[in-house]
Amino acid sequence: MKSETMEEHRNNSPSNVSCGVITLSDTKYKDKTENKDTDISGKYIVDKLNEKYEVNSYKIIPDESNELKIAIEEMINSNIDVIFTTGGTGIGSRDITIETVEQLFEKELIGYGELFRAKTYEELGSGAILSRATAGIYKETLIFSMPGSPNAVKLGIAIIFEELRHLTKHLKE
């Protein structure tokens, strides 16, 4: 069932959405140099977003909470509307993304993580319990955090790709 109000909101959403991408990976970040050639997931996000939106920032950082906070603040200060993080969402000792971004969130978009896990369950079964994908709002900026695997990134982007303009509209109200 389509909602007339939702369709009206989509039609009156901003035409430009500025996006930023942050890949967290100790192995892809070596000697303080970004190795974007090997970042399959980050590159997928950038390429997919550029089909409809504008990617104005793309960084590869180590799995360090302080580095993630700095990268997020830099993107916000550059007027990025939506930040996507990939990697660092697992349950290992170096996986710090979720704990870091959730401390920042002023509001959480719990539906994103719920949908991500439900769709992951459909594809992979009970292994979906390992997914800690999340989303929220910080300083009028949307942040979506998803796992680092290419398949997880494709799923995470597919969930919100058509809604980014709509989400950004509500965020700026």
Q: Is residue 117 part of a domain?
A: yes
Instruction: Tell me the average confidence (pLDDT) per consecutive run of 10 residues in the chain, 173 residues long.
Output: 58 77 84 68 97 96 96 98 96 94 97 97 93 96 97 97 91 82
What CATH number corresponds to the domain at position 107? 3.40.980.10
Domain that residue 41 falls in: 17-139+154-163
Buried b (16+ CB within 10 A) or exposed e, 6-34: eeebeeebeeebbbbbbbbbeebbeeeee
- Residue 84: how many other CB atoms lie within 10 Å: 28
Instruction: Could you list the beta-strand ranges (E) of the chain.
Output: 18-24, 29-30, 33-34, 54-61, 82-86, 107-108, 134-138, 141-146
Buried b (16+ CB within 10 A) or exposed e, 91-108: eeeebbbbebbeebeeee
Q: Is residue 1 part of a domain?
A: no
pLDDT at 26: 76
Q: Is residue 39 part of a domain?
A: yes
Q: Is residue 116 part of a domain?
A: yes
Task: Give the chain's domain count.
Answer: 1
Helix (H, G, I), strand (E, B) or coil at 57: strand
Q: Is residue 159 part of a domain?
A: yes
Q: Is residue 7 part of a domain?
A: no
CA distance 82 to 14: 13
pLDDT at 31: 44
pLDDT at 27: 77
pLDDT at 2: 65
pLDDT at 13: 54
